Structure 1
Amino acid sequence: MNKHTLFAAAAAAVALAALPAAAQQTLVPAQSEIVFTSRQMGVPVDGRFRRFDAQVAFDPKKPEAASIAMNIELASVSLGVAETEAELAKPDWFAIQQFPKASFQSSTVKPLGGGRFEVAGKLAIKGASRDIVVPVALAQSGGNTTATGAFVLKRLDFRIGDGEWKDTSMVANDVSVKFKLVLAGVPAL
């Protein structure tokens, strides 16, 4: 590399560094949560995932350019009962040894007005991938933006509860999922 090429590369790097970040946000894990409710023999069972991350590039004024990716550590599931959590790690449920993470990758973000958006993408759990559409509401306070939403997934679409657990009279097929993601660095609405 001659000195002119080296100088040009250095100048390009300095110019890129001076540009504002491409609307990349940072998840604030201590203030964020992913919770779910399933029903076992008609009784609600609440749980949560304690560890997850998100890579978000989002500008509310340009939602069509958004990219949202999440990874959830399935071993971080918490139901408050150690025996039940150990059961969820087994192959009939999350098969955590083979599939340690669930993931979501957005494909489109559509504005609905009033700080509300429709986020479409692929949810992958236990080797199965499904298209989902999630309504998301944004609220800004201080330097953070809170994204909240909820959706229902069909556990059997993802082979969660194989074998004898496929019986939906024992464990309902519908699982309600709610999330609150607190993000730093989202541009103003």
Structure 2
Amino acid sequence: MKKTVLSALLLAAAPFANAADYVVDTDGAHASINFKISHLGYSYIVGRFNQFDGKFSYDAAAPEASKISINIDPASVDTNHDRRDKHVSSDDFLDVSKFTTASFSSTSVKDLGDGKLAVNGDLTVHGVTKPIVINVAKVGEGQDPWGGYRAGFTGSTEFKLGDFGIKMFPDSKITFDLHIEGVRQ
């Protein structure tokens, strides 16, 4: 009887035994965090954050057991326009002198099938933490030419600036596009 219960527990835990840990490959510039926001309703401003790091755990056999955490340096905002970057960094928007980090940490992952995931988690921006969902698609995984193993994903999410206490243009929606490639540890 004890062997049967132990065997059942081991079999139930088997899908979680193959999860691998990855570090987001920012050193090789194989990851990016980009954003797009409407400029007065006439066009879009696009940009990125140049400094971030992160890690994730992933197992193709049990994607719902995946976890991810990302840390962003908001002072690394880059819209390809120095004067605008200074304004976005000011207390009108990101207030990078006061809020020196932004972060995302997953709380659950839902497998939607066909390599698609809904990653639920807590986003902290401008000192405010709120739950968001990132819609994710697996790009691929496998051996790299240097003897390592990689997995890559793309995802997007959208929220209003005011949701995170940003008072200038609080109803403006910002879209984040994430392209994450990790190196298995």
TM-score range, shorter-chain basis? 0.7 to 0.9
Higher alpha-carbon deviation: 59-68 or 132-141: 59-68
Distance across 1 between alignment mates of 2:126 and 2:141: 36
Distance across 2 between alignment mates of 1:22 and 1:109: 14
Name the SS for the 2:44 alignment partner. Answer: strand
* Residue deviations 1:141-188 (CA, integer Å, cap 9, x gap): 54222110111111111123x2xx2375xxxx11111110011229xx
Name the SS for the 2:135 alignment partner. Answer: strand
> C-alpha root-mean-square deviation of aligned residues, in Å?
1.9
The structure having more radius of gyration, on CA atoms, is 1
Identity across the alignment (%): 29
Report the CA distance between 1:22 and its aligned residue. Answer: 5.8
* Residue deviations 1:97-133 (CA, integer Å, cap 9, x gap): 1111111010001111111111001111011111111
How many residues align? The count is 160
Partner residue in 1 for 2:79: 79
Going from structure 1 to structure 2, the CA distance change for 1:166 and 1:177 (only over 3 Å counts) comes to same
Structure 2 unmatched runs, 5+ = 1-16, 144-149
Alignment of 1:28 with 2:28, yes or no, is: no
Structure 1 unmatched runs, 5+ = 1-19
Alignment of 1:128 with 2:128, yes or no, is: yes
Distance across 2 between alignment mates of 1:134 and 1:107: 11
Runs (4+) of structure 1 exceeding 3 A deviation are none
Amino acid at match of 2:89: A
Distance across 2 between alignment mates of 1:141 and 1:71: 23
Distance across 2 between alignment mates of 1:24 and 1:141: 13
Going from structure 1 to structure 2, the CA distance change for 1:141 and 1:59 (only over 3 Å counts) comes to closer
Amino acid at match of 1:152: E
Matches within 5 A, 1:81-120: 81-120=81-120
Distance across 2 between alignment mates of 1:177 and 1:81: 19
Matches within 5 A, 1:145-164: 145-160=151-166, 162=167
Distance across 2 between alignment mates of 1:129 and 1:73: 16
| Contact kept? 2:36, 2:175, Cα under 8 Å | yes
If the length of structure 2 is used for normalisation, what is the TM-score? 0.80
Distance across 1 between alignment mates of 2:94 and 2:111: 33
* Residue deviations 1:15-71 (CA, integer Å, cap 9, x gap): xxxxx9962112111111111111121221111111111121221222333221111
Going from structure 1 to structure 2, the CA distance change for 1:167 and 1:124 (only over 3 Å counts) comes to closer
